[in-house]
Structure 1
Amino acid sequence: MPTVLVFAPAPILTVTIEEHRDEPDVHFHVGGQGVWQARMLTALGVDAVLVCTVAGEAGAITRHLLDDEGFRVVTIDREGVSPAYVHDRRGGKRVAIVEAQGEPLSRHALDALYSATLREAAEADLVILSGPDGETMLEADVYRRLASDMRELGLTVLVDLAGNRLEAALAGGVDVLKVSHEELVADGRVDDDGDDEQQLLDAAQSLVDDGVSLVAVTRASEGSIVVGGGGAWRVVAPELEPVDPRGAGDSYTAGLASVLAAGGSHAEAVRTGAAAGAVNATRRGLGTGDAEAIRAIARKVDLQQIGEGSDEGKAS
């Protein structure tokens, strides 16, 4: 069984208020990008290891909830305040009541987190570098160091980052990148009309030219596009009715990682990623999905070649 290491600096304690039989129904979960990725990896039968920090009272609850997730967790205790939010969905829409990003990692906590990541990397096949909410939890240069060190240790490096963190990781060395078209717009890699497919292709190709083996660009209103050494493809997946689109991008990332960690092809990875994102959006649990449903949908995902000079088989 392949092992995927997920670097998740600071998971979020989530408190969501629903309505059940005309009474408030309060749900406690642990979330954040890395947690949702590890959750989907586990659903897909991959051995996921999450390395993170926890702090304060919220962190104590976070640790307890992580223990029930089904993947292995390496936690670093630190002082301070953990990220948390309280959302009210009783009216049918998500209303934020409190959203706390938590306190930045201290030098000692970061050193301990980094060392734990290096230690766990020795047994992993692939690493996902995920980011915490907000910009202040840790400095971007950590991602440059991590990307460089993970590749030095022989791991495939997959990142799902944007902004300064993405730039830092790219400087360290990235094998696979999943990014949304909104993030490419925000980072200035494409113009404000980021739905222009040619602009997205050019931006992705530029990243490939700089050394990234595979770039997957997800689009909110349309299927993703992927660019790699063999060419470019438009990913056409079945249009399933979404219930909650949040977490679909992280599920896509996990689908990519699940195949690549096992030595699978880029084409299979993209199909699985697109299917995982689509299935997750039909569910209320972020980063959740039925593995058999995902595999069935993956067989329905079409990779349409864009441009000349290659065929779909070269997506591998």
Structure 2
Amino acid sequence: MSVVIFAPSPVLTVTVEGHSGSDDGDVHVHAGGQGVWQARMLRRLGVEVTMCCVLTGESGRILLHLLRDEGIDVVAVERPGRGGVYVHDRRDGERRAVIETGGDPLSRHVLDEVYGEVLGAGLDASLVILSGPASQDALPADVYRRLSADMKTAGRRVVVDLAGDRLDAAVAGGAHLVKVSDEELVADGRIEESTTEEIIAAMRSIHDAGVAVVVVTRADKPLLMLADGVLSEVSTPTMEVADHRGAGDSLTAGIAASLSAGGTARDAVVLGAAAGALNVTRHGLGTGDAETIAKFRQLVSIRDVAGPTAASSLSPVELARRVEPS
């Protein structure tokens, strides 16, 4: 099993952590960004990963070494300029941004180059993940429609964890699975409030547009999945949170790992939920070991709220009543 990740603009991350008994801090330098965190978790789950990306300037050269040190196969288009970087100070326990930049937008020529690399690598993979860029203006949203459509034509399933125009584009292109949060649905104007009724209606809309599997996370509430007309609720154990960031990317990676190995949507969301639950207990984003994640799977519960007939005939209000505890 192998997965290709389109990660247009990875980020060089520098985090200063507190050092016990000293005013000095420990400096941690890592590769970061959505696609990187997904790739990291996939590697922890034993999946071969090829990351197609654009690496820019000095930060890009450092990123290339960091990614390869993690065992990620990198297919990179290199260019001059300013790459994505953030420096965070966590010495007082809270994350404070010193500097954050998404880097320079991708030029048409660079986009053509990395697009071709994704197509070529995707044909040799079981599944393709399309991840978001470090900045909003990095690349046109239509790239996600084109990639989704071309991968679908080539018989490859596409998994996306996107929002806004990029999500709309990937859905229009024929993505197989969409993962999105309720907060993103509100920000995108797909729902007005994060009520179960509105979320289910939005999931139906995405599902009816041709997406086979729709997964919506709801912060500390059980996530919802609509797969082939069946609505399910997935509950995970409540863990002490060290860092909530990266949990969604770990969820997406777990889902992709299972699907790439031939698992069902139910198998995939359970593994993804276990990976996400473990990740919040760690400071490292997209981290955790496969053995512990396998044990966490036993703590994840999934129940069908409505089958395909009921899901298509009941109103979102009626479905929501089945989801919410009495």
Give your verdict on TM over 0.5. Answer: yes
How far residue 308 of structure 1 moved from its aligned partner, in angstroms, is 5.8
Q: Which amino acid aligns with 1:178?
A: K
Q: How many angstroms apart in 1 are the aligned matches of 2:278 and 2:127?
A: 23
Equivalence map 1:242-281=2 (5 Å): 242-281=241-280
What is the match of residue 110 of structure 2? 109
Equivalence map 1:294-309=2 (5 Å): 294-307=293-306
| Mean CA deviation greater in 243-252 or 220-229 | 220-229
Q: How many angstroms apart in 2 are the aligned matches of 1:213 and 1:299?
A: 26
- Runs of 4+ in structure 1 off by over 3 angstroms are 307-311
Residue 285 (structure 2) pairs with residue 286 (structure 1): yes
- Structure 2 alignment gaps of length 5 or more: 311-326
Percent pairwise identity = 51
Query: What does the per-residue CA deviation read over 1:46-99, in whole Å, with 9 as the maximum and x for residues that have no partner?
Result: 111111011111111111111111121111101211000111000110000100
What is the match of residue 53 of structure 1? 54
Q: How many angstroms apart in 1 are the aligned matches of 2:229 and 2:149?
A: 25
| Mean CA deviation greater in 299-308 or 9-18 | 299-308
What is the match of residue 314 of structure 1? none
| Mean CA deviation greater in 105-114 or 7-16 | 105-114
Give yes or no for contact 1:271–1:299 (8 Å, CA) kept in 2.
no
Q: How many angstroms apart in 2 are the aligned matches of 1:94 and 1:176?
A: 32
Query: What does the per-residue CA deviation read over 1:87-142, in whole Å, with 9 as the maximum and x for residues that have no partner?
Result: 10001100001001100011111111011111111210100000112211111111
Q: How many angstroms apart in 1 are the aligned matches of 2:125 and 2:69?
A: 22
Q: Which amino acid aligns with 1:56?
A: G
Query: TM-score, normalising length from structure 1?
Result: 0.95
Q: Which amino acid aligns with 1:197?
A: T
Q: Which amino acid aligns with 2:107?
A: S
| Mean CA deviation greater in 180-189 or 60-69 | 60-69
Look up the SS of the partner of 1:151 in the other structure: helix
Give yes or no for contact 1:130–1:161 (8 Å, CA) kept in 2.
yes
What is the match of residue 44 of structure 1? 45
Equivalence map 1:1-316=2 (5 Å): 2-21=1-20, 22=22, 23-191=24-192, 193-194=193-194, 196-307=195-306
Query: What does the per-residue CA deviation read over 1:208-257, in whole Å, with 9 as the maximum and x for residues that have no partner?
Result: 11111110101112121111114111111111222111000000000100
How far residue 300 of structure 1 moved from its aligned partner, in angstroms, is 2.2
Give yes or no for contact 2:37–2:250 (8 Å, CA) kept in 1.
yes
Q: Which amino acid aligns with 1:238?
A: P
Give yes or no for contact 2:5–2:52 (8 Å, CA) kept in 1.
yes
Query: What does the per-residue CA deviation read over 1:22-46, in whole Å, with 9 as the maximum and x for residues that have no partner?
Result: 1122111110000000000010111
Query: What does the per-residue CA deviation read over 1:165-208, in whole Å, with 9 as the maximum and x for residues that have no partner?
Result: 111111111110110111111111111x21x1121111111111
Give yes or no for contact 1:40–1:254 (8 Å, CA) kept in 2.
yes
Q: How many angstroms apart in 1 are the aligned matches of 2:183 and 2:73?
A: 32
Give yes or no for contact 1:190–1:200 (8 Å, CA) kept in 2.
yes
Look up the SS of the partner of 2:222 in the other structure: coil
Look up the SS of the partner of 1:305 in the other structure: strand
- Structure 1 alignment gaps of length 5 or more: 312-316
How far residue 307 of structure 1 moved from its aligned partner, in angstroms, is 3.7
Look up the SS of the partner of 1:224 in the other structure: strand
How far residue 296 of structure 1 moved from its aligned partner, in angstroms, is 1.4
Give yes or no for contact 2:228–2:308 (8 Å, CA) kept in 1.
no
Q: Which amino acid aligns with 1:119?
A: G
Cα-Cα RMSD: 1.3
Look up the SS of the partner of 2:221 in the other structure: coil
Give yes or no for contact 2:172–2:209 (8 Å, CA) kept in 1.
no
